[in-house]
Amino acid sequence: MGSRFLALSGWVLIVAFLVVGLSGETCNAKDDGTKCTSSCGNIHNISYPFRLKHDPKHCGNVMYTLSCENNITLVVDLPPSGKYYVQAINYDNQTIRVVDPGIQKNNCSSMPQNPPFLIAPYSAYNRSGYLLSTPVFYIKCSNPVNSSLYVDTAPCLNINASSLVQQKTYSYVKVGVMEVGDLNEGCSAEWVALVLFNYSKGYNTFYESIHSALMYGFELGVYWPDEIPPICQGQWSSNLKCFPHTIPVH
């Protein structure tokens, strides 16, 4: 597992960047694009601005192209994060629910594999700047920790040092935003994933239920084509609307 871990620097974990090089082809005739409806697996209402890869060109908007793998699994590719399985598309509140492909059903040793870095038109935040989903931090400690904030991941995950020196490490998750003092001495945050429940500080549970939540997936906000600030298109931007997004430390 260690090699998949993202090395985190400092306290601030960047979860979501908005916006890099958006395609220039965003000005397709909207009138035509709204008329198509496609289907993939259980998701029957794939319509504007979404489209499937092999849909006619006039359907949807190229920025929102999804693919249908094996005619069953709807997949959204979110570089630089990776591919996610789409579980639901909600047009009313403009969200999609996605699952990390690393998570396997009934195998609590399976881990999310994508770092949740996101770019427009997708965001981990809603339009008021609130996280739509709850972060889950994977933490590795050199000593056992007895804390109400930490959920022991054993026996699902045991991050043993893979060197010849068999140094045992202890693996935990912490649900919710990381605050100063939440990381015990000898512990480091190794990875972050997103889930859809709102556990608050102090909540404790079994890792299996967190794995179930990972299996259910998390929500991403989707900005419609006319909502993406023009300043963000085709370039990095430090404009607040395009480039806010770190998990708050406090």
Residues that bind ligand NAG (CB under 6 A): 45, 47-48, 71, 90-91, 93, 95, 104, 107, 109-110, 126-128, 130, 132, 146, 158, 160, 166, 168, 197-198, 219
Q: Which is nearer to ligand NAG, 42 or 239 (CB)?
A: 42
Q: Which is nearer to ligand NAG, 64 or 137 (CB)?
A: 64
Q: Which is nearer to ligand NAG, 160 or 246 (CB)?
A: 160
Asked if residues 220 and 89 have their Cβ atoms less than 8 Å apart, the reply is no
Instruction: For the CB of residue 27, give the shortest distance to ligand NAG in the complex, in Å.
Output: 20
Enter the tokens of residue 160. Answer: 């043993």
Q: Which is nearer to ligand NAG, 14 or 132 (CB)?
A: 132
Instruction: For the CB of residue 160, give the shortest distance to ligand NAG in the complex, in Å.
Output: 4
Closest by Cα among 192, 185, 180 to 142: 185
Q: Which is nearer to ligand NAG, 117 or 197 (CB)?
A: 197
Long-range CB pairs of 40-49 (<8 Å, 24+ gap) are 40/66, 40/68, 40/71, 40/72, 40/73, 40/74, 41/68, 41/71, 41/72, 41/73, 41/74, 43/74, 43/86, 43/88, 43/89, 45/89, 45/91, 46/74, 46/89, 47/91, 49/224, 49/225
Instruction: For the CB of residue 102, give the shortest distance to ligand NAG in the complex, in Å.
Output: 7
Distance CA 84, CA 8 (A): 22
Instruction: For the CB of residue 56, give the shortest distance to ligand NAG in the complex, in Å.
Output: 16
Asked if residues 162 and 2 have their Cβ atoms less than 8 Å apart, the reply is yes
Q: Which is nearer to ligand NAG, 9 or 146 (CB)?
A: 146
Instruction: For the CB of residue 77, give the shortest distance to ligand NAG in the complex, in Å.
Output: 20
Q: Which is nearer to ligand NAG, 175 or 178 (CB)?
A: 175
Cβ–Cβ contacts within 10 Å for residue 10, how many?
A: 6
Distance CA 33, CA 215 (A): 32
Instruction: For the CB of residue 39, give the shortest distance to ligand NAG in the complex, in Å.
Output: 7
Asked if residues 34 and 47 have their Cβ atoms less than 8 Å apart, the reply is yes
Instruction: For the CB of residue 187, give the shortest distance to ligand NAG in the complex, in Å.
Output: 16
Distance CA 30, CA 137 (A): 41
